[in-house]
A and B are shown apart, each in its own frame.
Chain A
Amino acid sequence: MSLESPAHHANHAARRTMLRRLAWAVTLVVAIALLVFGAGRDTGPLTQQDRIDAITKRIACPTCDGESVYVSRAAAAQAIRAEIARQVGDGLKTDDEIVAFVADRFGGQVLLVPSGRGLEALVWVLPVALAVVLVAGLLVSVNRGAVGSSRPSRRRKLVITMVIAVVVGTGVGVLVARQSGQRLPLQTATGGIEDSTASLLSQARLAGPTDVKSAIDLYGRVLETDPDNVEALTYRAWLIMLSARQFDESLRKQAYATTIASLGRAIELDPAYPDAMCFLGIVVFRDGGDAASAKEFLDRCIERNPPAEVRGLVESLRTEVEAALGD
């Protein structure tokens, strides 16, 4: 025999009815949201031009008000469109990566579609969460008269319902934000290039003066992926020769041969590169003792307009070379 009163039964039934309705309401909201976003999604670009159009529609012209790069005729917009066309043509980046590149260079304000992450995601999350909370509130107010429970109990139910609605609404909103928000896979300034050739070369240059061994290793890593990289060939050879000067004759000879071969290869690959010619002149004079050849290489080096650091090395050496030739 049950000890529960008829009023308790009625209360329990009313609570189950309300929860059932709430579940249906949430299901309906989620289904409508998915339907809207599913129907709104296009089937993807068919040609490269479609891709270019789709990407340029996602980016604002940085010099005009309220125009996308797709519609704007401003010079900056045209330059961005040309860059997007080039990157699409290369076929190496996804649409999101190309958008991220442009946003990285011009700032997040050029993104026409708000991001699905961070503070900007609130643009997506808040309306959805608010809609779910409003629906839940509506259901609760409709059911208030039907539920024959005490006032504190009603208040507790209201709070629980609202907490559930907020959690569910936020969850759905986050899903919507992830689905529809701007996705930017590249967040580093130069596109995640930690191991790229440019980054390795820059790291090698930074290490060079103080940590020759690391610099040689870094140039070696560049040559593993790009054996014809002229800068790596030149500077690796130069640093090997500089560090070999402290060792015995046989090691110096070995390093000299390697250095001459590498610098020769660099000059063959890019005859206009001044640094290789300059270092060849220095090495041939300092380590090979051949002033006549050194003079020829150093003259060619100066003709090629070397950067200031290398020019400084060469100009101080030229007088020594000329003096040696005069003797």
Chain B
Amino acid sequence: MKFARLSAVATAVVLAAMIVVFIVSDGDTDVGTRSPLLGQPAPAIVTTTIDEQPFDLGRRKGSWVVLNFFNSTCVPCIAEHPSLVKFVSAESARPDGAEFYTVVNDDSDSAIRDFFSANGGNWPKLRDADGAIAVAFGVAKVPETWIIDPNGFVRLRILGAVADGVLEAQLADLRAREG
């Protein structure tokens, strides 16, 4: 009898705790994804573009920087491409427009050139020959999109394809928070 009462009380406590957890947890409905890098200085990126131009992320402080990890054979990467083209077009019209870079993930220069000449997107494409940039950001699968603020801090990580208007909304939100 005593045991039965104790079991009932224990069950009630566990159920109450579960309800509290469900109410308090944020449910992860945001497009942003967790990363230990959020709020931290961005990892160093020193590489070249597929057009042989040097690139150093540390030298882009003062601009919002968007990095999109990409592979020309990845279906979600292809699917999100028109949204990225629209985003870059809108940003380049702003005086404080974000700089957009594709980080080539496990793909050849020629495949990237072919894809962009067929689908548009006149922005720099960064080489990541041995995957060092992907590892530094913890990118296992593409596409992934990261936003870095003008002070060089990582502010947002989006896993998977971005839909129309998502990047615009997220960047507007970040700019508003930045003041």
Chain B stretch 116-136: residues in CB contact (< 8 A) with chain A: 130-132, 134-136
Chain A stretch 94-121: residues in CB contact (< 8 A) with chain B: 102, 104-107
Q: At the interface with chain B, which of A13-21, A22-30, A46-54, A193-201?
A: A193-201
Contact of B151 among A63, A202, A311, A312 (CB under 8 A): A202
Instruction: Verify A274–B59 contact, CB threshold 8 A.
Output: yes
Contact of B96 among A78, A86, A308 (CB under 8 A): A308
Asked if A75 lies at the interface with its beta carbon under 8 angstroms from chain B, I say yes
Chain B residue numbers with a CB within 8 Å of A201 are 41, 58, 152
Instruction: Verify A206–B151 contact, CB threshold 8 A.
Output: yes
Given the interface contacts A86-B132, A202-B153, does A307 sit within 8 Å of B40 by beta carbon? Answer: no
Given the interface contacts A272-B54, A308-B63, does A105 sit within 8 Å of B131 by beta carbon? Answer: no
Q: Report the minimal beta-carbon distance from B92 to chain A, rounded to whole angstroms.
A: 11
Instruction: Verify A308–B97 contact, CB threshold 8 A.
Output: yes
Instruction: Verify A307–B37 contact, CB threshold 8 A.
Output: no
Which 8 pairs of residues, A with B, have the shortest CB-CB distance? A79-B131, A307-B62, A105-B138, A189-B36, A309-B62, A307-B63, A62-B140, A75-B106
Chain A stretch 48-79: residues in CB contact (< 8 A) with chain B: 62-63, 75-76, 78-79
Q: Report the minimal beta-carbon distance from A309 to chain B, rounded to whole angstroms.
A: 4
* Chain B: number of interface residues, binned into ranges: 35 or more
Chain A residue numbers with a CB within 8 Å of B41 are 190, 193, 198-199, 201-202
Given the interface contacts A105-B37, A189-B37, does A205 sit within 8 Å of B61 by beta carbon? Answer: yes
Instruction: Verify B131–A102 contact, CB threshold 8 A.
Output: no
Q: Report the minimal beta-carbon distance from A185 to chain B, rounded to whole angstroms.
A: 15
Instruction: Verify B138–A106 contact, CB threshold 8 A.
Output: yes
Asked if A82 lies at the interface with its beta carbon under 8 angstroms from chain B, I say yes
Q: Report the minimal beta-carbon distance from A5 to chain B, rounded to whole angstroms.
A: 36
Chain B residue numbers with a CB within 8 Å of A63 are 140-141
Residue from the set B64, B97, B130 with the largest chain A CB neighbour count within 10 Å: B130
Chain A residue numbers with a CB within 8 Å of B151 are 202, 205-206
CA distance A259 to B136 in the complex (A): 35
Chain A residue numbers with a CB within 8 Å of B134 are 76, 79
CA distance A199 to B43 in the complex (A): 11
Instruction: Verify B141–A76 contact, CB threshold 8 A.
Output: yes
Instruction: Verify B36–A307 contact, CB threshold 8 A.
Output: no
CA distance A165 to B130 in the complex (A): 52
Instruction: Verify B62–A79 contact, CB threshold 8 A.
Output: no
Q: Report the minimal beta-carbon distance from A282 to chain B, rounded to whole angstroms.
A: 14
Instruction: Verify A189–B141 contact, CB threshold 8 A.
Output: no
Q: Which residues on B are within 8 Å of A, measured CB to CB? A: 36-37, 39-41, 43-44, 54, 58-64, 95-97, 99, 105-106, 130-132, 134-141, 150-153
Residue from the set A75, A83, A107, A273 with the largest chain B CB neighbour count within 10 Å: A75
Interface of A is mostly: helix
CA distance A19 to B133 in the complex (A): 61
Chain A residue numbers with a CB within 8 Å of B137 are 105
Chain B residue numbers with a CB within 8 Å of A104 are 36, 138
Given the interface contacts A63-B141, A190-B41, does A275 sit within 8 Å of B105 by beta carbon? Answer: no
Q: Report the minimal beta-carbon distance from B76 to chain A, rounded to whole angstroms.
A: 14
Q: Give 1 or 0 for each of A85-97: 1 = CB within 8 Å of chain B CB.
A: 0100000000000
Instruction: Verify A106–B140 contact, CB threshold 8 A.
Output: yes
* Sample of 14 A–B contacts (CB below 8 Å): A76-B140, A80-B135, A83-B130, A83-B135, A104-B138, A198-B58, A199-B41, A205-B61, A205-B151, A307-B60, A307-B63, A308-B96, A309-B150, A315-B95
Closest Cβ neighbor of A107 among chain B residues: B138
Given the interface contacts A76-B134, A205-B61, does A105 sit within 8 Å of B36 by beta carbon? Answer: yes
Q: Report the minimal beta-carbon distance from B137 to chain A, rounded to whole angstroms.
A: 7
Chain B residue numbers with a CB within 8 Å of A148 are none
Q: Give 1 or 0 for each of A259-292: 1 = CB within 8 Å of chain B CB.
A: 0000000000000111100000000000000000
Asked if A310 lies at the interface with its beta carbon under 8 angstroms from chain B, I say yes
CA distance A68 to B61 in the complex (A): 37
Q: Report the minimal beta-carbon distance from A42 to chain B, rounded to whole angstroms.
A: 26
